[in-house]
Amino acid sequence: MSDDPARAAHPMILCETLLKIYKVADLEVVALQGLDLAVERGEVMAIIGNSGSGKSTLLNIIGGLDIPSAGRIEVAGMNLAKFTDHDFIRYRRETAGFVWQNVARNLVPYLTALQNVELPMMLARGTDRRRRAQELLELVGLSHRMHARLGEMSGGEQQRAAIAIGMANLPRLLLADEPTGNMDSVSTGKILEAFQTVCRSQGVTVVIVTHDRRISRAVDRVVAIRDGRTSSELIRRPMRAEDLRAAGALGEAGHADTHEEFAILDRAGRLQLPREHLDALGLAGKDRIRVKLDGKNIVLSPPDEDEKESP
């Protein structure tokens, strides 16, 4: 698992036609259906989707906690399909850091914030644990809470401490599962600011899995997952200072002014239309659509109303 300089040209995460099938009793549940995804190095991105969309399954596969049924997954130029059990242990210890929604998975309640950040460093050699733990807590805005225990911190402070813990062993990738769940807007803003800060200062790639669409304004890119496939992207567009001020004044409704939405076209030429578009065209529940090429545009339209659908 040694680093190769040639890998720097590759995306941090590359998923190609990922398939994941779970067997529950006598049933097979398809969680991922040929998903494609690329995440660039140093990017702060969010993966959003409703419950059952496959986003948590994808996070577990990227984090080395689960393996796909088929397809390809590379992280930092390493092919996870070729990993041994020992490789996965090293990967989770050295390459990927984790921030969980459940604070019990992040912090030991009887330790202080400083001691919690030091804990993952105990297996690392030649590390000045105390100094680095202090630096990380300062980085996420918790210099005044270093000696506070779990019960003495707010939910937002606990999650920012969890970000520092996730960064303890200098990972190249930080994965977060619903880090702003049940948080108010102020706490959410501070948590997302902490992610951006560690990304810029530590050079880490951040992937946040969530159903919280408020996150879109605080990340570089948003990928939406529906039915186990990537369906659309929101990509931050360059904006002038006055545009950013105007977007900020719009509050939550301003996210459309800072990002441009794209549908995802997979390798087979398939795409998923947004649900609101299907409803507007009266296509909900239908299994066919007219597709025409009009110059450089593709025109989608419902079938003629008087056309009988074949059985």
Give per-residue pLDDT as tens, 150-204: 899 999 999 999 999 999 989 999 999 999 888 888 899 999 999 999 999 999 9
pLDDT value at residue 80? 94
The CATH code for residues 41-64+85-274 is 3.40.50.300
Whole-model pTM: value is: 0.80
Flag residues of the chain having pLDDT under 50.
1-2, 5-6, 239-256, 306, 308-309
Tokens at 226, concatenated: 């529906």
Tokens at 48, concatenated: 């959003």
Which among 197, 212, 204 is positioned nearest to 255, based on CA atoms? Answer: 212
d(CA 51, CA 195) in angstroms, rounded, equals: 24
pLDDT value at residue 201? 93
Q: Is 194:22 a contact under the CB 8 Å cutoff?
A: no
pLDDT value at residue 256? 44
pLDDT value at residue 62? 96
Give the β-pairing of 259-263 and 290-294: unpaired
Domain-wise residue ranges, the chain: 41-64+85-274, 275-311
